[in-house]
Amino acid sequence: MMYLKEGCSLLRKVHKPSIPFILSTNPKLDFPPQSEQNDKDTTFIEEFEVLKRLKNENDIILALEYFKSISNSRSFKHTPLTYGTMIEKLGHKGEMDAVQYLLQQMKLEGISCSEDLFISVIKSYSEVNAAEQALKTFYRIHEFGCEPTVRIYNHLLDALLSENRFHMINPIYGNMKKDGLEPNVYTYNILLKALCKNNSLSGARKLLEEMSNKGCEPDSVSYTTIISFLCKYGKLKEARDLVSKFIPSVPVYNALINGYCREGKIKEALELFNEMMPSGITPNVITYTIILNGLSDSGNIELSLAILAKMFVQGCDPNAHTFTSLIKGLSLKGRFLEALDVLSQMVNDEIPPNEVTYNTLIRSLCLAGKMGDALSILDKMEANGCIPNITTYSTLIDGFAKSGDLIGASEIWNKMISLGCCPNVVAYTCMIDVLTRNSMFDEAYSLIENMVADKCPPNTITFNIFIKGLCVKGRVDWAMELFDEMEKYGCTPNVTTYNEMFDGLYKVNNNGLAFELVRKMEERGIEFNLVTYNTIIHGLCTCGKIEEAKKLMGRMISKGIKPDNFTLNMLMHVYTKYGKFDYATQLLESMKKIRLQPDIVAYSSLICGLSEQIGLEEASIYLERMISEEIFPNVSLWNFLVRHLVSKIGYVGAVDYMNSVLDNKSDGET
């Protein structure tokens, strides 16, 4: 049975058309001929009245109609201020064609465009992500009776930066210098941000030097920008050294503390936090929130609560982000009742929880498999007037998928669609996950086709999820077809895709195709990871290709990938199965060299193999060694040894042997 509603395609955003209008240059189109009017009867309108009407009119259509009507009469002649007001209103609504028309009209009437108005036009273009159009308008600046200024250049540079048009920024900065305009600190800060976003640390350093050489001292924004950049790339020591050369501000401390928290260096972050007050710098709500978030990520809830208490003592009011960090920490530790208390406290203190707050709690509950509680939080979210977003629904669908609950996932999907929330690639992928877990492969494939139709194409992760679901259910043939189709959808298989295919192919003993895929993976230059090596080694071991498996592990180590216990246990099992005890004992010793401790599984394989194929005496050596390393036999191993001993030396001999082993155990453990 399929629970998805029909017609679940994405809602398509409809762009409203630009406002069409014409300012008539011939009053006869709208009013009686002027010759028929008595000039004495003309009622003239004052500029302040027009400005007041335009500013107070919230409906852009009505404002424009009013602007047109007085343009086409003799009662008022538009001024720079009325043109400016109308242009700003249109720009705020993104009606840039209309803005250009009015600029042309100003030009025809000989009205110069002021610096502030030109900046307003640039900002309007930036708001609609049309920095290139802003640049084209800037090149015509002289046509509008306006001269380039530092402020205009700054806003233009900022618009280009907002769209990451780095290649345009340097030429514009060069033009600014040619125009004889000296950059100010605002200019330099934009350039610094551009260099940092473009990963040019050396360029940012040179620009700081240029600022100082030109007598333009870097301000808090300058230093915060470069400190944030250094921290982002893990250059914490360099960032801290730079901070020691100037008097840091709160934003600079926040950037540095955030850098240490992101690297998991909470101790250093707390040291910075503790040095702020003695230095005369008071931490703000952002500082406390960064620290709380770092502590929550590291699981140090008790210290988080202490920091929150200190925050209250210092008279710094927490915000929604602060409480969200605490809720995250409590949830990750499974302390959901306390997390719910914090949520209730937020509502009582009139600090409305936002989408991030609710989503954080919902995600933690889903990870813990508490889907009923997660749905309760969704109800609270809606009851408190916070509208669930695509992240909310995706998280819930994923939670139901992980628990294999098709009905729960479908109900959330249907609710999402009915409320007009468009699914994104994450939501689609989660839904495909739950469908494949329930062997509904046709429906899952239909969703992929829907994704393409709704212009939300699947990505590699989508295919990985689908391929894994097929392989788990033994439908490796279909998984292979899907693997071959990926590129048709613009997706390239990655290491995870290959790993899923290897796992599926080895499970159905299609070793030939698996090894062919290994060759293709190498041809594509896709690096193996630990899972790849383990999967292929497991396949080789299953085929009895011991030498190949051994060589592959050597290659793995040479590539700097450390084997794990799964690797060791597979090889130990196959070595002992085929009587390769020299290999097995060598492997045991070599694992110690790379600081990998053999576990009960590895020792059990060796002890059982030696007992059956060599003898008890050799097996006893490793049994005693295992116990000396405080790895104690489990029930399965004891049962094997007892049965084997009884069959070989009888009941009495078995008891004597077991007693001798137990006598060697520390503290009399059994």
**pLDDT in the model for residue 34:** 40
Would you say residue 294 has pLDDT above 90?
yes
Would you say residue 604 has pLDDT above 70?
yes
Distance CA 1, CA 440 (A): 9
**pLDDT in the model for residue 651:** 63
Q: pLDDT: is 435 or 212 the higher one?
A: 435
pLDDT, mean of residues 320-344: 91
Q: Which residues contact 130 (CB under 8 A, 6 or more apart)?
A: 96
347 domain-assigned? no
Residue 121, both tokens: 């036009």
pLDDT, mean of residues 218-226: 89
What are the backbone angles phi and psi of residue 550, rounded to the nearest 5°?
-65, -45
216 domain-assigned? no
Give the model confidence (pLDDT) of 475-521 as tens digits.
999 999 999 999 888 899 999 999 999 999 988 888 889 989 999 99
Which residue is listed with tokens 């693997």?
483
Segment among 184-198, 411-425, 615-629 with least mean pLDDT: 615-629
Tell me the CB-side half-sphere exposure of residue 493, using CA atoms within 13 A. 30
Confidence of residue 662 (pLDDT cuts 50, 70, 90): low
537 domain-assigned? no
- Helix (H, G, I), strand (E, B), or coil: what is residue 182? coil
**pLDDT in the model for residue 436:** 94
**pLDDT in the model for residue 248:** 86
Would you say residue 321 has pLDDT above 90?
yes
Give the model confidence (pLDDT) of 554-593 as tens digits.
888 888 888 888 888 888 888 888 888 888 888 888 877 7
**pLDDT in the model for residue 659:** 65
Q: What percent of the chain has pLDDT over 90?
A: 47
The Cα diameter of the chain in Å comes to: 133
85 domain-assigned? yes
71 domain-assigned? yes
State the angle between helix axes of 115-127 and 80-92 in degrees (0 to 180), rounded to the nearest 10: 10
Would you say residue 396 has pLDDT above 90?
yes
Average pLDDT, the chain: 86
pLDDT, mean of residues 422-441: 93
- Domain with 75, as residue range(s), is 17-33+42-111
pLDDT, mean of residues 236-258: 89
| Residue 39: DSSP 8-state | G
Confidence of residue 29 (pLDDT cuts 50, 70, 90): very low
457 domain-assigned? no
**pLDDT in the model for residue 654:** 61
Would you say residue 35 has pLDDT above 80?
no
What are the backbone angles phi and psi of residue 21, rounded to the nearest 5°?
-160, 155
Which residue is listed with tokens 């889903």?
366
Confidence of residue 206 (pLDDT cuts 50, 70, 90): confident
Q: What percent of the chain has pLDDT over 70?
A: 90
28 domain-assigned? yes
Domain count within the chain: 1
Q: pLDDT: is 591 or 548 the higher one?
A: 548
Query: First-to-last CA distance in the chain?
Result: 53
**pLDDT in the model for residue 657:** 63
pLDDT, mean of residues 91-104: 90
Distance CA 396, CA 442 (A): 23
528 domain-assigned? no
Alpha-carbon distance values, 389 to 126, 358, 545, 621 (Å): 26, 10, 52, 62
Report yes or no on whether pTM surpasses 0.85.
no
Confidence of residue 215 (pLDDT cuts 50, 70, 90): confident
3 state SS for 13-81: CCCCCCCCCCCCCCHHHCCCCHHHCCHHHCCCCCHHHHHHHHHHCCCHHHHHHHHHHHHCCCCCCCCHH
Confidence of residue 30 (pLDDT cuts 50, 70, 90): very low
- Helix (H, G, I), strand (E, B), or coil: what is residue 361? helix
